[in-house]
Structure formats: C-alpha cells, structure tokens
Amino acid sequence: MDSGCHFAFAADSPGAGSRRRRNMMLVLLSLCGSGLLQQAVADDRPPAAQSAAGKPAEAQSAALFKEQIYPLLLRKCAACHGEESQEGRLRLDARSTTLAGGISGPAVVTGKPEASLLYQRILGDGDLDRMPLDEEPLTAAQIEVVRRWIELGAVWPRDIGPEVTAPRKHWAFIPPKQPAVPEVKQTSWPHNRIDHFLLARMEQAGMAPSPRAGREQLIRRASLHLTGLPPSLAEIDDFLSDDQPGAFARVVDRLLASPRYGERWAVPWLDAARYADSNGYQRDGRREAWPWRDWVVAALNADMPFDQFTIEQIAGDLLPGATLLQRVATGFHRNTMANVEAGTDPEEEHVLAILDRVNTTGTVWLGLSLECASCHNHKYDPISQREYYRLYAFFSGTEKEIETNGTERDFIGPKLQVPLSREQQQQRDHLQAELKQKQAERTRLLATLDEQQRNWEQNLQLPGERMARVFRRGDFLNPGEAVRPGTPAVLPPFPAEAPATRLGLARWLVDPANPLVARVIVNRQWAALFGQGLVRTPEDFGIQGERPTHPELLDWLAVDFVRSGWCLKRLHRQMVLSAAWQQSSRITPELRKQDPTNRLLARMQRLRLPAELVRDHVLAVSGLLSQRMEGPPVFPYQPDGVWNHIGRASNLWPASTGTEKWRRGLYVNWRRTVPYPSFVNFDAPTREQCTVQRSQSSTPLQALTLMNDPAYMEAAVALAARLLNELPAEASDADRVQQGFRLATGRQPSAVEMRILVNRVQVERTEYAEDPQRAELLVKDFPVTGGHAPLALAPWVHVASVLLNLDETITRN
C-alpha cells in the first residue's frame, strides 16, 4: 500500500503544522496494521479516481467507513446526534441525515475534509466548540481517519445504519392537528371538551375527578381569576340564590365583560413585556411608558384577537396608515432596559436592546430560548446562530435608545408623543367601545383619529433595508457574515411575498401554520387558570422543555383557539366553565399519594394571589379600592429611603394622595432596580427582563408585609370601620365577624372560626380599654376611621388584620 498521497496531502493542507504531521504517521501505522483497505465495500456510485494503490478511492473510503468511521460515530457522536437526541438537528448514525447535515449545514463535503464541518468540529479549529463537546477529544489517529475517509470520497455504503430521511421532529415543531375528542366512561361529568381529555386520562390512571367546589368558593374563584378582585357580598348572594340553569356561566360572562378583566390579565402580559416605569440600571430614571400599559388593558378588555394583538405590538407602526394607538402598541418592544450611566456606548446599548427584543419574542411567542443562539448555534434546539441574526435583522434599523453629548447619556426612546387632552381621552374611550363592535368600523375610526395625530407622529422605523451581521461569539464588536431578515428553518417558511420587516415577522408568527404560537399562548392561559401549564415549562417548548401532560388537549385547544379567531375571552370562558376548573381543591390523602403534583388535574389547584392582586384584594375587602383606570403610575405608601440612587434621577417618592393611593397594583410605579417592596416580597419580578412564570413562595417577609406594612394596616383600619358602618349599631360582634369573614374569604365562617374571632374582638376590647392610648396610636395615622372612636375601632382593627392575614384570604381556593 502506498501512502504517499497521504503525506503529500498533509503537507499541502493549509495550516497543517507539525502536530498534524505527526498524526499522519500514527494513522499510517494503524491503516497498515488493519489491512482493511483490502476489504473495500462497493457503493452504488460510479467508480472515480483510482488511488496510487490501484484501489478505487471510493472503495477505500467505504472500507474505512465500515471498519472505523461508523463505530466511531456511534461511540463518540450518537449520544447527542443519534436516534434519541439530535442536537443542532444533526443525526450522525444514519446516512441521509449525515449527508443532509444539521442547522449549520452539511456535515461532510465530499473529498474536502478541511471544508467539512464534521472534520472542522472534531479538530476544534476556529471559533467553534470542539466536538465531542465536554468529552475527551478524539485521538489524533481517529481524527486522521475521519480526514482520510472524507478525502477519499466520504463513502457511506447504503447498507450501513438505519434508514431515516430526516431527524425526528420535536413534537412542538409539528403543527398541531385537532385530535378527536376521547370517549369517557363517566359521561355525566364533562361540561365541555376539555373535560373529555382530562377525564379520559384520569380514567386511564384509575382516578376520578374531585367533586364540584361549593358555590361560595366557585364565585370567589372565578372573580379572583378573571378580574383579580373578590366578589361583593351581594354578588355572592345573587349567585347563591340563582337556581336557574347556567347560573355560573352568567357569573363568568359578567366577569369577562368587566373592565377589571383587562386590568387583571394585563399583569402577566406586563411581566412578559418587561414593562416598567423606569430605565433600569444605575440611575434608573423615570420613563413614560404607561400609555402602552393602558393600551394593553384596553385591548384585553375589548377582546382584541390575539393575532391582531400580536401584530400591533410587534409592528403597529408599520401597518398601512398606522394609527396612534397602533403606534402606542409597539411600546411592547420599547420596554427594554437602557443603561445611561456615563461611559456606556449608545451603539452597544442599541445592540443589547435588539438582542433583548429577539429573546423576548422567542420566549413570549415561540416558547423558545433563542438567547443561546446569539453566541453559537443552539445546543439543543434547531436554531443556528445565523438564524438568530436573521431574526435580529427584522428588528434592526430602529432608532437608538440612548444618546450622548459626549459626557452625559439620556434615554431618548424611540419616543412617541401621546396627546393627553380630555378630548383625546374621550376619543380613546370611544374607540374602545367601538373595538367591541365591528372591525371595519374600528379601522375607519382609527383612521379618523390618525388624521388628527399626524402632527405628533414620528417615524419609528428608519428607512433602508434591514440587515444584520452575525456577531461572532455574540460580540457586537466582532461582526461576521451579513444576513437578511429570515426565520428559522425548523418553522414554516417565511413567505416570499411578505415584507422582510417586523410586520412580516408578526404576520408570520400568527400564521395558523406556526406550530408554536397558539400552543404557547394557550398554555400560558392554562397555567394562569389551573396553576400549572399543560407544558410545565411555559418558557421552554424546546427539546429540553417538559412534554405536555395532555398533548392532545393542548393541540385541541390550540387549534380551536386559532379557528375561533384567537379570542382570549372565549378561551378563558372555555377553561373556567369546564368541570375540571370547578372541582374542589381539597387534597385528599389518596390524591396526594396518587398524583402529588396534580399532573392529571383530578382536583383544582389552590393558588396564592400574585403580588399586585394581593394588594388589590385587600383594598377591595377594606372598601378602599379606587376603580379609576389608566394614566400615569401612582405612588402608594412606601417607607422612606427605599429609593436611594445615584445621579440625576430623582429619589423623591411623590406619594399619591386621596384615592389615588388606593388604585390597583397594576398602576403602581415600577422602578426596576427597586420595585415596590410589598410586590417584591410577593414574588413579583423586577421586570428587567421577560418573565412568563413567577415563582410562588411563602416567606416571613410576606407575613411581615401583611401584618405591618402601613398600607395594609390602613386597609385593616378601613375594614374595621366598614364593619362598624355597614351593620346597624345593634348588630352583635358575631354579626360583624361574620360580615368581615365573608368579605375576606367569600364564605361563611364555621362555628369554630366564629368563636375564635368573636373571642378575639372581646378580649381585645378589654385589652384596649385597659390601655386606651394604644387604641389611639393604632388608628392615629390612618384617616379612614369613618369617625369611629379609637376604642370602638381598635378591637376590630385587630380582628380585621387577622382576617387580612389568613392564608385563605390571599389564596384562590
């Protein structure tokens, strides 16, 4: 056997140093020793060049493959690029998939090892990680065999390896088809199709659903879930006495129509959009972004179809004849942070903002962690770095976020002048009403308004074609290949005729062919109402995410959601009216044993209220809550010194006065580096970046907040006054306790609960009588006493505080 060509090639190969030449020697020995080149396996290709040894190169290559390469691929590569897992969408245990390659392109270029990714990656040359990742590198001899195999033609005989034509597609990338609704045995239980899917699974597992929750619990549950506020006592009584069929559906419809609905459902959307009233970082100065927040509330209340909701937020400014409101909607992606500390580079800030827009779009709509691909091809999901920057290109060409005069930096937007005159406000209100009616009419009205707005408008998108560079290793100072806007290959193609703009991207997202968006959105609504998503990693539908607990149900809902016009209210109604959602939340010992994490939903989940709603609920129970909507953020009570920043941004907390301080949590000023303390204590995120799932904790800081935060003490005083005011003077302590208990928990107290609290008020009455000054101190700071004397009020304040601290009070049972 002649090995001259090996040496010749090695000597010629660019960049081959002495190390590689040494490798050649080793390989040479191993090839000679095995004598395998004699065992050539014929492939179905026509014979090509003959080697100096007189054997066709293909035959040598095929033999090498069978003897060495294939075992090597199986041993060293298939764990991540095999049947089970295809990282980078690459599968190396089968012929066609290897030739097709993964997201980075074909793995092998016949005859050209240096140009073949397979060879480059095992060498670890250049910027890319060496393969096998996090394992011992291949030996020099093994590397050389690979090189040689490719050089000789990279022949993979058809009879070796499984016959697969494409890597198996991850479930979430296959468009959902609406499955048949399964049959169930307990036919009397289901209220709607959701229940069929859930019950079929329970029956399979030998489980049965929990009984329906009591009516008091149901109306409170529905009110808190749909509007974030408790039902009034009259609403409870009405429901309890409504024995006509459809009573609960009527309650649900009333709640869906309430303007409180939009305020409650805005909260998770604001988390996803990382909405805040400040820029973040060192100065964390004020930012006027609240018109966007109001837009969200209005859109949700008007039940704007989610596809339109998406398009207007991603590209409202690019819609033909974009209206002011549509431009306001694009505030979604202006909620990125901005560091204006001296020394920042406006260009870098701009890049960071765009990266954040790409990542946030990925998490919110696609349920994918695109971020990984900003520095390198995604390790798990089929998203290449190039594809990442093609998405980036859609968002390029917008104005910078900060400007500098050389010494100081300021957040400049892009800004949109929003008129706030009464006239405009009325027009907006009017528009909201119209939104509920016909689409056409709406468009016409917006166009009219638009005419009046032109003076204030400003081009948000700069002219010119959108392009981006692939930032090597994610470093914007190290730009590589230029790319045009485009979408990842694993998802449906971006239509050739669509504009390569954010508008095109937005429309592509909500195209019914997109396998992810509807599933991701439906899943988050499910998580909000049931406590856990059908996919329990709502932030990740990728390969590493959890599989759905009920895949068919998820698909059924997703398809149904799109077919019925992306209507969120309808979806919420569907879920809430299911028998599953109306189950008792009691965890029996059997249920705890059978299904400790409630995957099969044989019971309802008890859920603590989110931070803002803890506040709203307490304010509602005490009667203080202001129902005023919209407008600049408010500043309810906050201890002195919490704001303590450097620089030009003010540290003054301009405390709201009058009823403004009792507005819903949604409207409370959100400063990113120091969010409102009681919200922080109840697991609110900082809104520095996109969050689609908050953590749920029970901590001593929560206890301290509910017991001692003056905002909550004030509510306790107000609740006490309410109990004295709303019942006649001759009412007994028990009557008042009963009233307070119902206000806080939505139900009648049991006998024991009653005794504990009645006893409490009586004991405290004596205690305060012995020390009247303490009673005065208790209520002194809070002018919500309703004119009651401190001694009369104090024992009730004590009881009210107990009521407001109950686990049940802050929980959706």
Report 589-608 residues binding other proteins (CB under 8 A). Answer: 589, 592, 606, 608
Task: Point out which residues pair with 402 in neighbouring strands.
Answer: 411
Stretch that binds other proteins, among 32-40, 84-92, 459-467, 683-691 (CB under 8 A): 683-691
- Count residues near other proteins (CB under 8 A): 112
Instruction: With contacts defined by CB under 8 A, name the span among 192-200, 201-209, 369-377, 448-456 that binds other proteins.
Output: 369-377
Identity of residue 611 = A
Chosen residue from 282, 404, 594, 626 binding other proteins by CB under 8 A: 282
DSSP 526-554: HHHHHSS-SSS-TT--STTSPPPSSHHHH
Q: Nearest approach, Cβ of 98 to other proteins (angstroms)?
A: 25
Judged by CB under 8 A, the stretch of 145-153, 411-419, 581-589, 613-621 that binds other proteins is 581-589
The two three-digit tokens of residue 481, written as one number: 């290949």
Note whether 798 binds other proteins by CB under 8 A: yes
Q: Is 49 helix (H, G, I), strand (E, B) or coil?
A: coil
Q: Contact at 8 Å (CB) between 301 and 259?
A: yes
Q: How many CB atoms lie within 10 A of CB 729?
A: 5
What's the angle, vertex CA 594, arms to CA 588 and CA 599, rounded to 5?
100
3-state secondary structure of 461: strand
Classify the phi-psi angles of 647: left when phi > 0, otherwise alpha if psi is within -120 to 50, otherwise beta: left
Closest to other proteins by CB, 503 vs 604, is 604
Count Cβ atoms below 10 Å from residue 637 Cβ, excluding itself: 17
CB of 762 to other proteins, least distance (A): 4
Please pick, from the candidates 253, 345, 434, 511, the single residue that binds other proteins as defined by CB under 8 A: 345
> Which listed residue (117, 302, 372, 614) binds other proteins by CB under 8 A?
372
* Shortest spacing between CB 682 and other proteins, in angstroms: 9
SS (H, E, C) 342-358: CCCCHHHHHHHHHHHHH
**Candidates 137-145, 146-154, 220-228, 338-346; binding stretch for other proteins (CB under 8 A):** 338-346
Site stretch for other proteins (CB under 8 A), options 83-91, 547-555, 570-578, 727-735 = 727-735
157 torsion bin: left (phi>0), alpha (psi -120 to 50), beta (else): beta
Does residue 85 bind other proteins (CB under 8 A)?
Answer: no
Which CB sits closer to other proteins, 31 or 602?
602
* By the rule CB under 8 A, 335 interacts with other proteins: no
Query: Which span (21-29, 77-85, 488-496, 805-813) binds other proteins, by CB under 8 A?
Result: 805-813
Q: Look up residue 737 and give its amino acid.
A: V
Position among 160, 734, 791, 792 found at the interface with other proteins (CB under 8 A):
734
| Least spacing, CB of residue 439 vs other proteins, in Å | 36
Q: Which range, of 170-178, 237-245, 428-436, 797-805, touches other proteins by CB under 8 A?
A: 797-805
Query: Which of 465, 703, 725, 789 is close enough to bind other proteins by CB under 8 A?
Result: 703
From 252, 517, 601, 778, residue interacting with other proteins (rule: CB under 8 A) = 778
Q: Which member of 533, 663, 709, 740 binds other proteins (CB under 8 A)?
A: 709
Out of 420, 495, 780, 783, point to the residue binding other proteins (CB under 8 A).
Answer: 780
Pick out residues in 636-665 that bind other proteins (CB under 8 A).
Answer: 639-642, 644-646
Instruction: State yes or no: residue 531 binds other proteins (CB under 8 A).
Output: no
20 token code pair: 């590689």
| Sign of the dihedral through C-alpha 554, 556, 560, 563 | positive
Smallest distance, other proteins to C-beta of residue 596, A:
10
581's tokens = 């959602």
> Applying CB under 8 A, which of residues 222, 229, 302, 337 lies at the interface with other proteins?
337
Q: Name the 3-class secondary structure at 286.
A: strand
Burial of 318 (0-12, 13-18, 19+ CB in 10 A): buried
Residue 214 CB, nearest approach to other proteins (Å): 11
CA 773 to chain centre: 51
Given candidates 49, 655, 777, 789, which one binds other proteins under the rule CB under 8 A? 777
Structure tokens at 781: 């700071």
CA dist., res. 429 & res. 425, Å (int): 6
Q: Is 333 helix (H, G, I), strand (E, B) or coil?
A: helix
Per CB under 8 A, 342 contacts other proteins? yes
Measured from the CB of residue 255, what is the shortest distance to other proteins in angstroms? 24
* Residue 334 vs 608, nearer CB to other proteins: 608
All residues at 6 or more sequence positions from 323 whose CB lies less than 8 Å from its CB, including other chains: 446, 447, 449, 450, 453
- Each residue 456-495 as x (binds other proteins by CB under 8 A) or -, in order, gives ---------------------x------------------
Strands (E), 184-331: none
Which residue from 237, 441, 762, 789 is in contact with other proteins, where contact means CB under 8 A?
Answer: 762
Nearest to 143 by CA among 2, 21, 8: 21
| Number of other residues whose CB lies within 10 A of the CB of residue 392 | 25
User: What are residue 731's DSSP bridge partners?
Assistant: none
The Cβ-side half-sphere exposure at 774, using a 13 Å CA radius, reads: 12
Kindly state whether residue 587 participates in binding other proteins, applying the rule CB under 8 A.
yes
| Per-residue CA distances from 72 to 31, 65, 76, 142, 497 (Å) | 15, 9, 6, 8, 45
For residue 414, whether the previous peptide bond is cis, meaning omega lies within 30 degrees of 0, is yes
Residue 373 makes CB contacts below 8 A (sequence gap 6+) with 383, 384, 385, 387, 388
Residue 40 and residue 63 in contact, taking contact as beta carbons nearer than 8 Å: yes
Retrieve residue 744's tokens: 């806080």
Most distant pair of Cα atoms in the chain: their distance: 114
Alpha helix stretches (DSSP H) within 101-162: 117-123, 140-151
The smaller minimum CB distance to other proteins, of residues 326 and 686, is found at 686
Q: Is 369 in the site for other proteins (CB under 8 A)?
A: yes
Does position 710 interact with other proteins (CB under 8 A)? The reply is yes
Question: Does position 341 bind other proteins by CB under 8 A?
Answer: yes
The nearer residue to other proteins, 159 or 408, going by C-beta atoms, is: 408
Confirm or reject binding of residue 699 to other proteins (CB under 8 A). Answer: yes
State the minimum distance, in angstroms, from the CB of residue 350 to other proteins. Answer: 14
Min dist. Cβ of residue 431 to other proteins (A): 36
Give the contact letters, 289-318, x = binds to other proteins (CB under 8 A), - = no: ------------------------------
Least distance from C-beta 6 to other proteins, angstroms? 37
561, 521 Cβ separation under 8 angstroms: yes
- 540-579 residues near other proteins, rule: CB under 8 A: 540, 542-545
Smallest distance, Å, CB 761 to other proteins? 8
C-alpha–C-alpha distance, residues 334 and 338, integer Å = 10
Pick the stretch among 98-106, 396-404, 410-418, 585-593 that binds other proteins (CB under 8 A). 585-593
Decide: is 675 part of the binding site for other proteins (CB under 8 A): yes
689 binds other proteins (CB under 8 A): yes
Minimum CB distance to other proteins, residue 18 (Å):
27
Smallest distance, Å, CB 688 to other proteins?
4
| Rounded Cα–Cα distance for residues 555 and 59 (Å) | 50
Contacts of 549 (CB under 8 A, 6+ apart): 534, 535, 536, 599, 600
Nearer to other proteins, 59 or 744 (CB): 744
